[in-house]
Structure 1
Amino acid sequence: MTSTKGLEGVVATQSAISSIIDDTLTYVGYDIDDLANNASFEEVIYLLWHQRLPKEDELAELKQQLIAHMPVPQEVYDHFKMYPIDKVHPMSALRTAVSLLGLYDEKSEDMSDEANYEKAIKIQAKIVTLVTAFGRIRKGLEPVAPKAELGYAANFLYMLSGTEPDAIEVEAFDKALVLHADHELNASTFTARVCVATLSDMYSGVTAAIGALKGPLHGGANEQVMKMLAEVGSVDNAEAYIKDKLANKEKIMGFGHRVYRKGDPRAKHLREMSKKLTALRGEEKWYEMSVKIEEVFTAEKNLPPNVDFYSASVYHSLGIDHDLFTPIFAVSRVSGWIAHIREQYANNRLIRPRADYTGPGMQKYVPINER
């Protein structure tokens, strides 16, 4: 047996959900550029779960189901209020809350296709409420109920702030959700599939995926990018800041990707939304700093930005707390996790790889008094 560090280049399964071929990302054969420019997030959810785009009545039904299932049990809100708020990262709260939801779903252990689809709707709907409610409760505010006339993206922003967002805010957030929805066999998706390959339930699979997404080398990168932008402070400081970090061999978050070689195809869409939103807010410096950092870093390392880099200034411009950036990633990516979980169930085999042993050779037990 030969081992590959980080499973790089290893093909672990077959999937009809998304692909990355020659630096082109597709969802069920649709180029991400096509979807980002034309599709709503609800359409993408349907596409990932059904392997086709919805018809008008199917899309309307999905939207209605999502709105109907957004409320969560009062016990979940009460649970949030028990947390040591000043010490709990929102991803830890989300991980615990999704697991908690499973306790209140009478079909959580029902593994039929029908029950699993119902759970898919519930989890996708309620994750919006979990993130926004925690974001408000920790500030001493009450959760905001969704509005039936608003779409998924608009409801997230409304439930977080209590104010209906304007059109460009909805456009930016909806596009971000589309871009983050799935990404082939990334770390959190692989974690979800490993979990449910044991025939564990969907809540367990999503909880496991959230745990994987929490790390700064996966979902936490955009939060770190915003921290970096705040440290840079101005465009004039950007070049010296980056060169100093590189000289000290410190990692710059938001650049490069394990899979892409020519560049992340999602980044350009968020770059454009960052430009629009920062101008709308009169805070162009965040976009301008990002552009300068990109210029300096790519000149030094020849590594283009990934999807995390410009999503940071987009979310900041939407007035979202920086530590909610990764939970937002989960709000989108749960659509892909669920698609992969259902695909795993449909053609399951326990995922059990081997390890290349590097420890000592055969040893003989020695009694404790002789050691």
Structure 2
Amino acid sequence: MDKDDNGLEGVVAAHTVLSEVDGAAGRLVLRGHAVEDIAGRWRYEDVLALLWQDFFAPLPAASDLAQALGRARAEVATLLRADDRDVLADLPPVEAMRALLARLPDGDDLPTALRLVAAPVVFTAAVLRGKAGEAPVMPDAAAPHAADFLRMVSGRPATQAQAAALDAYLVTVADHGLNASTFAARVVASTGAGLASAVLAGLSALKGPLHGGAPGPVLDMLDAIGSADAAARWLEAALDRGERLMGFGHRIYRVRDPRADALKKALRELARVGGVEAGRVALAEAVERAALASLQARKPGRVLETNVEFYTALLLEAVGLPREAFTAVFAAGRVGGWVAHAREQVQRGRLIRPQSVYVGPAAEASPAGTSLPVR
């Protein structure tokens, strides 16, 4: 059956042990663990140990892997140069981070993988500080990964609640089936190019607005609405203009995105300890209720539920990360999954080489002794 006009939807391109995405049931499972059961309880380092098992030999225990990741952050920081601020100042954070990431050499071993996971947080933090006219903050190799990221951005230690909230986000987005960026990483890995090349391919796909670029506009929408009592009126007017409501609907999920609930829970926990304004959370929940009601009334034949982007935006804002950096932060979580898929592809797969169907003009016949026109 020809699927090429549907973005390969329904085509099986890999068999994986890493994650199961069940859109009909609203379920995301990472190697036997439902995402809502581990988000908020596990650190990102724990998920790396889960996803990477069997792909690196030997793979340290989660605690030792966390220490190795800390050392990798320190190693990556040595790649920063004095003139980076001037060279990268005009680039969006994700593009600046991509340029810096290209400094890492290719390889397929565990040290390479750890440096690739360390790089997005080290480079994103340095880029953000550079844009603010401040010098980079060097990593603390002994600190947990999420906490160190926030410290490198702000220049001060993160609270335990902030670090836990960011960990919940990184865990939630670590892997999600064969999405566009993961597929891109697997295609490059299948050529034998190496982990750095595969991760750069994944990052390049992620920065596209149809994949990783939507959380920031959620905050733009909330800012424009302003108050809970204005939500329904604003949303109805946006739908009248044919605009998409950011943070609602998903290509795969036909029910509520399970990651949205995991992040909503993490945001509420952050609000409980004073890490986010209660009014901001109340506004978001009012907008969510009004949006779901409007979408159900206008499009009763479609399921357009809250997706991961909606509460991602609120959570990342609450821990002090600017909205223009949200795609780069997404990459900081998804990179662990890209590495795992790249290793799985090399170990268990072969060169990915699908076929295409030619629909162009037929070959032009040329009389003997003549040449085709130059076009």
AA paired with 1:60? S
Q: Deviations over 1:26-60 (max 9, x none)?
A: 111111122114322111110000069xxxx7122
Query: Do the aligned partners of 1:26 and 1:32 also contact (CA within 8 Å) in 2?
Result: yes
Query: Do the aligned partners of 1:131 and 1:327 also contact (CA within 8 Å) in 2?
Result: yes
Query: Do the aligned partners of 2:26 and 2:257 also contact (CA within 8 Å) in 1?
Result: yes
CA–CA separation in structure 1 for the residues paired with 2:54 and 2:41: 17
1:195 to partner: Cα distance: 1.2
CA 1:191–1:211: 2 relative to 1, 3 Å:
same
Query: Do the aligned partners of 1:80 and 1:93 also contact (CA within 8 Å) in 2?
Result: no
Query: Do the aligned partners of 2:120 and 2:329 also contact (CA within 8 Å) in 1?
Result: no
1:305 corresponding residue in structure 2: 306
Q: Are 2:92 and 1:98 aligned?
A: no
2:39 corresponding residue in structure 1: 36
1:336 corresponding residue in structure 2: 337
1:147 corresponding residue in structure 2: 140
2:119 corresponding residue in structure 1: 126
AA paired with 1:174? D
1:350 corresponding residue in structure 2: 351
Query: Do the aligned partners of 1:17 and 1:51 also contact (CA within 8 Å) in 2?
Result: no
Q: Are 2:17 and 1:16 aligned?
A: yes
Query: Do the aligned partners of 2:73 and 2:141 also contact (CA within 8 Å) in 1?
Result: no
Unaligned runs of 5+ in 1: 103-107
Selected match of 1:76 from 77, 80, 95: 80
CA 1:92–1:148: 2 relative to 1, 3 Å:
closer
Query: Do the aligned partners of 2:121 and 2:149 also contact (CA within 8 Å) in 1?
Result: yes
Selected match of 1:241 from 227, 234, 240: 234
Selected match of 2:169 from 155, 176, 193: 176
CA 1:243–1:367: 2 relative to 1, 3 Å:
same
Selected match of 1:200 from 193, 197, 210: 193
AA paired with 2:104? L
1:281 to partner: Cα distance: 4.7
1:3 to partner: Cα distance: 2.8
CA 1:230–1:80: 2 relative to 1, 3 Å:
farther
Q: Are 2:226 and 1:222 aligned?
A: no
Task: Select between 41-50 and 293-302 the one with higher mean Cα deviation.
Answer: 293-302
AA paired with 1:159? M
CA–CA separation in structure 1 for the residues paired with 2:133 and 2:91: 15
CA–CA separation in structure 1 for the residues paired with 2:275 and 2:77: 36
CA–CA separation in structure 2 for the residues paired with 1:73 and 1:212: 25
1:262-273 aligned within 5 A:
262-273=255-266
Query: Do the aligned partners of 1:270 and 1:310 also contact (CA within 8 Å) in 2?
Result: yes
CA–CA separation in structure 2 for the residues paired with 1:253 and 1:269: 18
Q: CA RMSD in A?
A: 2.3
CA–CA separation in structure 1 for the residues paired with 2:103 and 2:187: 21
1:105 corresponding residue in structure 2: none
DSSP 3-state at the match of 1:142: coil
DSSP 3-state at the match of 1:61: helix
Selected match of 1:289 from 283, 289, 308: 283
1:25 to partner: Cα distance: 0.7
The number of aligned residues is 356
TM-score (norm. length: structure 2): 0.88
CA–CA separation in structure 2 for the residues paired with 1:133 and 1:37: 27
Query: Do the aligned partners of 2:77 and 2:139 also contact (CA within 8 Å) in 1?
Result: no
Unaligned runs of 5+ in 2: 297-303
1:189 corresponding residue in structure 2: 182
1:359 to partner: Cα distance: 2.9
1:282 to partner: Cα distance: 5.9
DSSP 3-state at the match of 2:7: helix
Percent identity of the aligned residues?
36
More helix by proportion, 1 or 2?
1
